Structure 1
Amino acid sequence: MSNIRDTYLPYGKQWIDDDDINEVVKVLKSNYLTTGPAVSEFEEAVANYVGSKYAVAFSNGTAALHGACFAAGISNGDEVITTPLTFAASANCVLYQGGVPVFADIDPHTYNIDPEVIERKITSKTKAIIPVDFTGQPVNLEKIKEIADKNNLVVIEDAAHALGATYKGEKVGSISDMTMFSFHPVKHITSGEGGIITTDNKEYRDKLVQFRSHGITRDADKLVENHGPWYYEMQFLGYNYRMTDIQAALGKSQLMKLDKFVELRKTMIEKYNDSFKELPQVKIPYQDANGSSSWHLYILRFDTSKLKADRKEIFEALQKQNIGVNVHYLPVHLLPYYKELGYEKGIAPVAEEVYTEIITLPLFPAMTDKDVQDVIKAVKQVIESHKKLV
C-alpha cells in the first residue's frame, strides 16, 4: 500500500488558542490559584449552558462520578446498573462506595445501554442507574427515567462524551438526577483534567460540594457546634477532589467555543458518513432521531466476514498509515480486575461482539479537511487491500 501520511494523526486532541492562554495567565497573576472565584464562575457558566440549577466542579470526571455516587447514597452492597461498553470509571465509582456494579447489555444499533435489559437486572438491592452517552449519543433518557421513577432509583448520567448533545430538544445535563461531564483533553472542551456534576437537586449539590473538600463545612446552619468565625467541621469522610482556578479559567474560556467545536465535529462526521455508507465491509454509526449527538467519537464497525483480516490486522494497517486509530472500549467486565471480582465473559454478549469489530477514527475540531480526507483514503485503501472477492 502507498503511504498516505508522513506524520501521525492522533484520534483526539485539544484546541487551545490565545484567548484560553490569556485567561489562564490572568489566574496565574491573581491572588487565587485554587478555591478562588474562577471555579464558581465556571460552574455557573456550565449550569447556564445546559440549563441546570447547579453545577459542582471536580478535579476530574472520575472524581465527579464518585461524588455523585456518594450524593446518591450508594453504600456497601447497593447494586448500580451500568453499561459494559464504557471506560472503567463508570463502574469504578460504584466500587469506591462499596457498591456492586451490575452490567446491562447494549442496544446493537446505538451501542448505548439497553433499557429492556436494565429492567431485567433490577433487584431489591438496586439503588441507581449509570447510563453512558456512548460517543456523544444520548441514551434513551425517557425510558430510563420511567424505569427509575417506577423503581425509586437515582439516575447518574455519565455524559463524559456528550457535552453539547440534546435529547428531544433538551440539553444533556438538564434531564437526569445528576449528570457528569469530563474535561479531559480529548473531550469537547478541556480544563486539562476536570469534571463536573450538574443537577437540579439542592441536597445533591450540597453533598457534592462538601464531599469534594474532605467532608468539611463552614456553613453555620450545618455545624453541630460553633466556636467562632474560624470554626469548621469535618462531618463525614470526603476527599480532596477540588478543581483549581487554573483549570476552571481554561474550562470557562473553552466553553465559549463549545458550539463551534461541536459544529466542526458534525461537519467531519458528514464527510465520514458520506464516504463510508456505501461500503459493505463497514457499518457507520447509528443516529437516534430522539437525540442530537455531540460526536465525541466516530466509530466504524468492520464486518470481518467480508474481509480477509480480523480487527487487529485492520487496526495495525491503519496505524502504519499514520492514522491514530483507537478502540473504545474493552468491555469493563472483561478487565482483569473485574474478572477477579467474579464477572465472567458472556454476561453481555452484544457488547462483547461489538467490541471485536469496532475501530475509532480520528475526530477533533482542529483537524483540517486534508486530515479528514487522509483518514477516508486510508480506510478505503485498507479495506480494498483486505476485502474478500465475491
Structure 2
Amino acid sequence: MTQSTDQFLPLVRPDIDEETISGVADVLRSGWITTGPQNQKFEAALSALFGGRPVRTFNSGTATLEIGLRIAGVGPGDEVITTPATWVATSHVILEVGATPVFVDIDPITRNIDLDLLEKAVTPRTKALMPVYLAGAPVDMDALYAIAKAHGLRVIEDAAQALGSTWRGKRIGAFGDLVSFSFHPNKNLTSIEGGALVLINDDEARLAQQYRLLGVTRTGYDGMDCDLLGGKFNMTDLAARVGLGQLPHLERVTQQHRKLARAYFDGFEGGAAVKLGIGLPVRDFEHTNWHMFQITLPLERLSIERAEFMEQLKQRGIGSGVHYPAIHLFSLYRKLGFKAGMFPHAERFGATTVTLPLFTQMTTDDAARVCRAVDEICTQFAK
C-alpha cells in the first residue's frame, strides 16, 4: 500500500516545555554544568515526592540498579532472581557485580515475574530479588515483600518505567526497599539520560553518593580519601534541570497516559484484531502509569511475521517497537547456559509483542487511528 498521508505518529516523543529549555540555558550560562545545585534541588524534589525518603540521582537507570545491588552487598557467589522479560540492563548489572542472574518465567496475563515461581527459585545463595514493573505495572507488592521478609532478602525494584504508578494508594518509591527509576527520553519523566535511586536511610544514601563518584570522599578543602571502588555515575546539572522542569507535570502526564490507554482498549473492543486473538495488557487503571501499551500478535493466525506487521504500521504512518525480546535467548546468555524452552511464557511474549505509540502529545483520535490500522492489517493478513 502507499504511504499514509497522515502525519507520522512516532512510538514516543519527549515533551519538554519552553520554561525548561530556558532553564537549561540558564544553567549553561551559570558556569556550573556538572553535578551541583540543580542536582541537589532535583534530589530534594524527588525525596518530597517519595514521602521524604533519601534519593540520589545518577547518569542512568542502569547505574542505579548496579549501585542498588552493591549497597545490598550482592557480589560473587550470590544469586539474584529476576525476569527475562525486560531490557538487558536488568540482568547485565547482576553480572557486572559478579553475581548470577536467576531467571523466573512471567505470568502470561500480567507479563510480570510470576511470584509463585519466584519463591520456588529461592536458594541458600539467593541474596536479592529484582522485580521489574513492565510498562509501569507493579507486581503484587504485598506478596513480593512477604517473600523477601520470609527469606531475609533485599529487594532492588526495577521501577524504571513506573514513575507515577502506585500500589494500594501508595506511590511506587514511597515505600519498600531500594527502588530504581530511569529518566531516559522514552520514560514518563525524562532528564535526557539519568536515573534515581530511592534508599532506606541516610547511611545508604551516603554510600550511594560515594559509589557514584569513584568511591571518593572529601572533607574540607584538601581532605580526600577513597575506601571503595566506585564508578563515574553522576548526573549533570543540565540533566537535573530538565528533570526539575518535568516533575511538576508528572501527574498530568500520568493521567494523559491513562486516558490514551483507555482509548486503546475502547478502540480495540469488538474489532478484527481482538476477534483474531490479539493479546491486550491487563486493564489496570488503579496502579499502572501506562508507560507503554503493548499488544501481542496471534502470529499463528497471520500470514506475516512481526517485522512485516511493524512495516505495515510504518507504511500507514505509525511507529512501533519491541519491548522486550527474552533476555536468556541473547548470545551472551546462551553462552552462560540458558537456552530456548526454559521460560516459555517470556519467550512467547518476547517473540510476539509489539509496542504501540503512547506519549503525552497524542490524542485519543491518534489512538483510534492506531487501532484501525492494527485491525486493517490483521484483516488483510488473516489466514
Q: TM-score range by the shorter chain?
A: over 0.9
- Please tell me whether the aligned partners of residues 214 and 229 of structure 2 are also in contact (alpha carbons under 8 angstroms): yes
* Aligned match for 1:241, one of 225, 233, 236: 233
Structure 1 pair 201/345, CA: closer, same or farther in 2 (3 Å)? farther
Whether 1:384 aligns to 2:379 is: yes
Q: Which stretches in structure 2 are left out of the alignment for 5+ residues? A: none
Q: Mean Cα displacement is larger for which, 29-38 or 149-158?
A: 29-38
Query: 1:5-20 counterparts in 2 under 5 A?
Result: 5-20=5-20
Query: 1:104-123 counterparts in 2 under 5 A?
Result: 104-123=104-123
Q: CA RMSD in A?
A: 1.6
1:369 deviates by 4.2
Query: 1:255-334 counterparts in 2 under 5 A?
Result: 255-278=247-270, 279-281=274-276, 282-288=278-284, 291-334=286-329
Give the match for residue 94 of structure 1. Answer: 94
Give, in whole Å, the separation in 2 of the partners of 1:52 and 1:176: 13
Query: 1:137-216 counterparts in 2 under 5 A?
Result: 137-216=137-216
Give, in whole Å, the separation in 2 of the partners of 1:177 and 1:102: 20
Secondary structure of residue in 1 paired with 2:223: coil
Supply the AA of the counterpart residue of 1:386: F
Secondary structure of residue in 1 paired with 2:185: coil
Q: Which stretches in structure 1 are left out of the alignment for 5+ residues? A: 220-227
Give the match for residue 332 of structure 2. Answer: 337
1:3 deviates by 4.5
Structure 1 pair 52/87, CA: closer, same or farther in 2 (3 Å)? farther
Structure 1 pair 207/5, CA: closer, same or farther in 2 (3 Å)? farther
Q: Mean Cα displacement is larger for which, 336-345 or 163-172?
A: 336-345
Give the match for residue 77 of structure 1. Answer: 77
Give, in whole Å, the separation in 2 of the partners of 1:183 and 1:242: 14
Supply the AA of the counterpart residue of 2:260: M
Secondary structure of residue in 2 paired with 1:356: helix
Structure 1 pair 177/348, CA: closer, same or farther in 2 (3 Å)? same
TM-score (norm 1): 0.93
Secondary structure of residue in 2 paired with 1:28: helix
Structure 1 pair 129/348, CA: closer, same or farther in 2 (3 Å)? same
1:6 deviates by 4.8
- Please tell me whether the aligned partners of residues 174 and 199 of structure 1 are also in contact (alpha carbons under 8 angstroms): no
Supply the AA of the counterpart residue of 1:252: L
- Percent identity of paired positions between Structure 1 and Structure 2: 37
Structure 1 pair 287/201, CA: closer, same or farther in 2 (3 Å)? farther
1:387 deviates by 2.3
Give the match for residue 46 of structure 1. Answer: 46
Give, in whole Å, the separation in 1 of the partners of 2:144 and 2:360: 31
Secondary structure of residue in 2 paired with 1:299: strand
Give the match for residue 222 of structure 1. Answer: none
Give, in whole Å, the separation in 1 of the partners of 2:138 and 2:174: 12
1:154 deviates by 0.7
Secondary structure of residue in 2 paired with 1:232: strand
Give, in whole Å, the separation in 2 of the partners of 1:142 and 1:165: 15
- Please tell me whether the aligned partners of residues 81 and 101 of structure 1 are also in contact (alpha carbons under 8 angstroms): yes
Supply the AA of the counterpart residue of 2:280: I
Give, in whole Å, the separation in 1 of the partners of 2:343 and 2:5: 38
- Please tell me whether the aligned partners of residues 105 and 113 of structure 1 are also in contact (alpha carbons under 8 angstroms): yes
- Please tell me whether the aligned partners of residues 52 and 200 of structure 1 are also in contact (alpha carbons under 8 angstroms): no
- Please tell me whether the aligned partners of residues 260 and 363 of structure 2 are also in contact (alpha carbons under 8 angstroms): no
1:143 deviates by 0.8
Structure 1 pair 369/2, CA: closer, same or farther in 2 (3 Å)? farther
Secondary structure of residue in 2 paired with 1:56: strand
**Partner deviation per Cα, 1:18-75 (whole Å, 9 max, x = no partner):** 0111221221122421221110110111121132511100011111111111111111
- Please tell me whether the aligned partners of residues 267 and 368 of structure 2 are also in contact (alpha carbons under 8 angstroms): no
Give, in whole Å, the separation in 1 of the partners of 2:67 and 2:5: 43
- Please tell me whether the aligned partners of residues 67 and 211 of structure 2 are also in contact (alpha carbons under 8 angstroms): yes
- Please tell me whether the aligned partners of residues 292 and 355 of structure 2 are also in contact (alpha carbons under 8 angstroms): yes
Aligned length in residues? 379
TM-score (norm 2): 0.95
Structure 1 pair 347/175, CA: closer, same or farther in 2 (3 Å)? farther
- Please tell me whether the aligned partners of residues 136 and 292 of structure 2 are also in contact (alpha carbons under 8 angstroms): yes
Secondary structure of residue in 1 paired with 2:30: coil
**Partner deviation per Cα, 1:176-195 (whole Å, 9 max, x = no partner):** 21111111111001111000
Q: Mean Cα displacement is larger for which, 77-86 or 370-379?
A: 370-379
**Partner deviation per Cα, 1:281-309 (whole Å, 9 max, x = no partner):** 212211358x5111111001222344333
Give the match for residue 366 of structure 1. Answer: 361
Secondary structure of residue in 2 paired with 1:351: helix
- Please tell me whether the aligned partners of residues 4 and 315 of structure 2 are also in contact (alpha carbons under 8 angstroms): no
Give, in whole Å, the separation in 2 of the partners of 1:300 and 1:198: 31
Structure 1 pair 65/52, CA: closer, same or farther in 2 (3 Å)? farther
1:200 deviates by 2.4
1:218 deviates by 2.1
Structure 1 pair 52/358, CA: closer, same or farther in 2 (3 Å)? farther
- Please tell me whether the aligned partners of residues 156 and 176 of structure 1 are also in contact (alpha carbons under 8 angstroms): no
